[in-house]
Amino acid sequence: MASTDRIQLAPAFVLHRRPYRETSLLLDVFSQDYGRIGLVARGAKSPKSRQRGELQPFTPVTLSWMQRGELGTLTAVEGNTPTYVLTGSALYSAFYLNELLVRLLARHDPHLKLFAYYQASLESLAANSSIEVTLRLFEKHLLTELGYGLLLDIDSGSGLSIQPDEYYDYHLESGPMHIENAQSGGFVFKGSSLLALEQDTLDDDQYLLDAKRLMRAVLNLYLGDKPLKSRELFRKKTH
């Protein structure tokens, strides 16, 4: 028989929740020390349940649960501060971050650095900092934590350092390769845009546009054919 582990007071965020049976919720949780996990919150859907209000996305919580097999059972939840007030585009963007984590993180695989970066990204969105910068940098750090980090400062063909004023054809599974000019064909980026993403200094509109173009292509490689629901919701909101 599988053994039962009792986890106590683990910092976490609810990524997604959905009804489960008559009165319970099925939670997809990103925890600091245990990674992404699935939990059943028994009775949490009941109108009288205190847990119902605490088990919300973007709210820091401390969870306790019993883990036996793939799915755990929630035993206690405590709300933490600060909570993040997100509205409009910032809220849709936060849902996008959550969907990326649900789609790309394997279960029970801890990512301490990514947990901290996720929390910092929510803080940035709540503070009305640049949404585009926040999203691009989170995407980059997510890929790095998953082992799919982008090569941005070295020419994958020659091994030489990327030069700001030169142009590069970016091969998604190997990295940038120098080309003579922007009209040479391929998936082309100027060296300065690649270096800006490498150094987390997306302080120029062109850098942001290029970062979005690159990150979208790379993420699609790993997400597959199933579209992101949060992207569709954001499109409907802005049209």
Looking at 19, 44, 79, the residue that finishes a domain is 79
Does residue 69 sit in the same domain as residue 47? Answer: yes
Share of the chain above pLDDT 90, in %: 73
Predicted local confidence at residue 235, as pLDDT: 61
Does residue 193 share a domain with residue 111? Answer: yes
**Same domain (yes/no): 124, 26:** no
Does residue 11 sit in the same domain as residue 27? yes
Tell me the two tokens of residue 112. Answer: 């301490």
Decide: 13 and 35 in contact? Cβ < 8 Å.
no
Q: Are residues 95 and 74 in the same domain?
A: no
Q: Alpha helix locations (H) across 48-203?
A: 51-54, 88-104, 112-126, 131-145, 191-198
Q: Are 74 and 126 in the same domain?
A: no
The answer to whether 44 touches 20, Cβ cutoff 8 Å, is no
Which residue among 79, 94, 128 closes a domain? 79
Q: What is the pLDDT of residues 47-91, one digit of tens each?
A: 767 777 789 999 999 999 998 888 899 999 998 777 889 999 999
CATH number assigned to the domain comprising residue 9:
2.40.50.140
Asked if 49 and 143 sit in the same domain, the reply is no
Same domain, 230 and 148: yes
Q: Which pLDDT band holds residue 2 (cuts at 50, 70, 90)? A: low
Cα–Cα distance for residue pair 210/34, rounded to 1 Å: 34
> Three-class SS string for 51-96?
HHHHCCECCCEEEEEEECCCEEEEEEEEECCCCCCCCHHHHHHHHH
91 lies in the same domain as 199: yes
Is residue 160 domain-shared with residue 201, that is, in the same domain?
yes
Query: Where in the sequence is the domain holding 103, given as residue range(s)?
Result: 86-239
Is residue 152 domain-shared with residue 45, that is, in the same domain? no
pLDDT higher than 50, residue 1: no
Q: Is the domain of 57 the same as that of 111?
A: no
The token duo for 126 is 């709540």
**Structure-model confidence comparison of residues 107 and 182, the more confident one:** 107
pLDDT: which is higher, 153 or 20: 153
Picking from 79, 100, 119, the residue at the C-terminal end of a domain is: 79
Statement: residue 198 has pLDDT above 90: yes
What is the arithmetic mean of pLDDT over 216-233? 82
229 compared with 32, residue with greater pLDDT: 32
Tens-digit pLDDT profile for residues 149-167 = 999 999 999 999 999 999 9
Helix axes 205-223, 191-198, angle to 10 degrees: 70
Domain count, the chain: 2
